[in-house]
């Protein structure tokens, strides 16, 4: 559960700390955060799993800083650790390459810099342990003495200010004073005592715009419309009740879903719309990957493992085979799949979602989104993406 006063990880600037073993990565994380977040030792390979810390670096705002295992780790366990390090890189907005100032750049460091450039990851080479050498040709710090740690934060601020921050969930297609009706079913799968993250974020974006947000359950939607003096400018619904809400929404009122809004917000909507068309050609035994960006306790009639399967089989008249991933898991080899259906990705940052899209494109496997797929199968996809037709430019793919 994400506290209402805490910025979700998917909305934070992701800063990854990379480098060889014993370069001082964990010490640097502790110095930046001002806390003993990571275990520090002179023994190589102390950091085995990524260690993350959420914090604020002003004026950037909320960030997530992650320490990783050494890129020069060896052996079977070492490979597992470096694989986890590579997963962190997929979602990294700014990479800090920590180099032991006494040793200088090594082959592994140069290879990593090449990877940063290939993936379009903004990065900074940081020479640590500068207190132990006379001169350093580059940006130098000492995690032990605190030398230049403040300057490093300022440098991160400088780099971070170039981060794209103009993305909005819905504010760019509505106006102050508009009435927006949000349909949020409360069933067994709804989290107790709160709304799901995309609903929270959408409500906040509406409020920030100066528009009016009316939140109802699907059972009270029709009655709510009748009580309004004027029709709403937009209806946003949970994808699970698309059919019902579409039938009850007047044809001249714009309609979409939280999941479709998230696909657009994460920059993958255009590709998701194209991918949904593959549902028309699914046959028996075709493999479909259903991927969710978070891990949660599944209730009966769960959308990702029960409902969407039922809709697919009704739409296609076939019996495909399904595989499921959640959280940070996403296959490197996707060639066996006919289609990937992803959740809205609210717990993943924009870069991670674009990486997953890029990987599916590289494998020649279409990828769509829960809301896009459901609206396509309900025959209302064109209506549900119509609100974005005017003045909307889809995000470009991440350079990977």
Q: Is-contact 127 28, C-beta < 8 A?
A: no
Residues 256 and 328 in one domain: no
Q: Is residue 320 in some structural domain?
A: yes
Domain harbouring 244, CATH code: 3.40.50.11420
pLDDT tier for residue 399 given thresholds of 50, 70 and 90: very low
Rounded CA gap, 334 and 23, in Å? 35
**173-218: per-residue pLDDT in tens?**
999 999 999 999 986 566 667 788 899 999 999 999 999 999 999 9
pLDDT tier for residue 397 given thresholds of 50, 70 and 90: very low
Listed range (226-235, 299-308, 390-399) with the worst mean pLDDT: 390-399
pLDDT tier for residue 390 given thresholds of 50, 70 and 90: very low
Q: Tell whether the model's pLDDT for residue 278 goes beyond 90.
A: yes
Q: Is residue 268 in some structural domain?
A: no
* pLDDT at residue number 84: 82
Residues 116 and 175 in one domain: no
Domain harbouring 82, CATH code: 3.40.50.300
Listed range (32-41, 148-157, 193-202, 261-270) with the worst mean pLDDT: 32-41
Q: Is residue 25 in some structural domain?
A: yes
Listed range (38-52, 69-83, 101-115, 213-227) with the worst mean pLDDT: 38-52
Residue 25 CA from chain centroid, whole number: 25
**64-81: per-residue pLDDT in tens?**
999 998 888 766 766 777
* pLDDT at residue number 296: 60
Torsion over CA: 224, 225, 229, 231 (sign): positive
Provide the 8-state DSSP code for 324: E
Residues 256 and 325 in one domain: no
Domain harbouring 322, CATH code: 3.40.50.11410
Residues 234 and 140 in one domain: no
Q: Report, in angstroms and rounded to the nearest whole number, the Rg of the chain calculated over CA atoms.
A: 23
What is the layout of strands, in order, in the sheet containing 367-369?
Answer: 321-326, 287-292, 339-342, 367-369
Residues 175 and 118 in one domain: no
Beta bridge partners of 290: 324, 341
Residues 339 and 217 in one domain: no
* pLDDT at residue number 163: 56
Using DSSP bridges, classify how beta strands 51-57 and 61-67 pair: parallel, antiparallel or unpaired. antiparallel
Dihedral of CA atoms 223, 308, 382, 204 in degrees, nearest 10, equals 60
Residues 154 and 21 in one domain: yes
Q: Is residue 271 in some structural domain?
A: no
What's the average model confidence in pLDDT over 231-238? 97
* pLDDT at residue number 400: 37
Q: Is residue 290 in some structural domain?
A: yes
**18-46: per-residue pLDDT in tens?**
999 889 998 999 898 886 655 444 545 44
Please identify, among 130, 160, 190, the residue that sits at the C-terminal boundary of a domain.
Answer: 160
At 182, which helix (H) or strand (E)? strand 179-183
Q: Domain limits at 82?
A: 9-160
* pLDDT at residue number 16: 94
Residues 181 and 295 in one domain: no
Rounded CA gap, 75 and 12, in Å? 34
Residue that has been written with the tokens 């997953």 in this structure:
356
Q: Mean pLDDT over all residues of the chain?
A: 87
**298-318: per-residue pLDDT in tens?**
565 688 889 999 999 999 999
Rounded CA gap, 400 and 354, in Å? 9
Give the closest residue to 22 by CA, choosing from 47, 56, 58, 4: 47
The total number of structural domains that make up the chain: 3
What's the average model confidence in pLDDT over 350-362? 92
Rounded CA gap, 58 and 134, in Å? 31
Please identify, among 211, 234, 261, the residue that sits at the C-terminal boundary of a domain.
Answer: 261
Residues 356 and 375 in one domain: yes
Tokens at residue 337, please?
């799949």
Residues 315 and 368 in one domain: yes
Tokens at residue 3, please?
């506290």
pLDDT tier for residue 393 given thresholds of 50, 70 and 90: very low
Residues 50 and 126 in one domain: yes
pTM of the model: 0.81
Residues 135 and 60 in one domain: yes
Please identify, among 234, 261, 288, the residue that sits at the C-terminal boundary of a domain.
Answer: 261
Q: Is residue 390 in some structural domain?
A: no
Give the closest residue to 16 by CA, choosing from 3, 32, 40: 32
Q: Is residue 86 in some structural domain?
A: yes
Q: Is residue 362 in some structural domain?
A: yes
Burial 40-58 (b: 16+ CB within 10 A, else e): beeeebbbeebbbbeeebe
């Amino acid at each position: 559960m994400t506290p209402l006063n805490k910025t979700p990880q998917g909305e934070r600037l992701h800063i990854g700390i990379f480098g060889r073993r014993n370069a001082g990565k964990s010490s640097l994380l502790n110095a930046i955060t001002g806390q003993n977040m990571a275990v520090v030792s002179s023994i190589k390979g102390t950091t085995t799993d990524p260690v993350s810390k959420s914090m604020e670096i002003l004026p950037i705002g909320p960030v997530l800083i992650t320490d990783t295992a050494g890129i020069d780790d060896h052996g079977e366990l070492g490979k597992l650790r470096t694989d986890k390090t590579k997963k962190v890189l997929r979602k990294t907005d700014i990479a800090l390459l920590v180099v032991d100032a006494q040793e200088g750049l090594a082959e592994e460091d140069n290879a990593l810099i090449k990877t940063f450039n290939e993936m379009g990851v903004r990065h900074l080479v940081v020479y640590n342990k500068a207190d132990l050498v006379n001169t350093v040709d580059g940006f130098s710090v000492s995690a032990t003495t605190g030398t230049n740690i403040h300057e490093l934060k300022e440098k991160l601020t400088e780099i971070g200010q170039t981060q794209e921050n103009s993305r909005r969930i819905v504010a760019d297609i509505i106006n102050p004073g508009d009435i927006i009706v949000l349909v949020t079913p409360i069933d067994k799968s709804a989290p107790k005592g709160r709304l799901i993250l995309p609903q929270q974020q959408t409500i906040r974006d509406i409020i920030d715009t100066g528009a009016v947000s009316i939140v109802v359950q699907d059972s009270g939607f029709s009655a709510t419309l009748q009580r309004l003096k004027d029709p709403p400018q937009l209806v946003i619904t949970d994808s699970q009740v698309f059919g019902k809400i579409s039938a009850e929404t007047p044809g001249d009122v714009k309609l979409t879903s939280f999941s479709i809004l998230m696909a657009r917000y994460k920059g993958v909507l255009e590709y998701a719309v194209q991918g949904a068309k593959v549902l028309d050609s699914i046959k028996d035994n075709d493999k479909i990957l259903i991927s969710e960006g978070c891990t949660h306790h599944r209730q009966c009639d769960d959308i990702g493992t029960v409902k969407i399967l039922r809709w697919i089989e009704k739409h296609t008249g076939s019996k495909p085979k399904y595989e499921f991933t959640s959280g940070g898991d996403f296959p490197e080899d996707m060639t066996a799949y006919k289609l990937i259906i992803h959740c809205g990705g609210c717990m993943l940052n924009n870069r991670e979602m674009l990486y997953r899209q890029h990987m599916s494109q590289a494998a020649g496997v279409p990828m769509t989104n829960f809301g896009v797929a459901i609206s396509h199968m309900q025959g209302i996809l064109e209506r549900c993406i119509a609100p974005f037709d005017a003045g909307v430019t889809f995000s470009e793919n991440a350079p990977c």
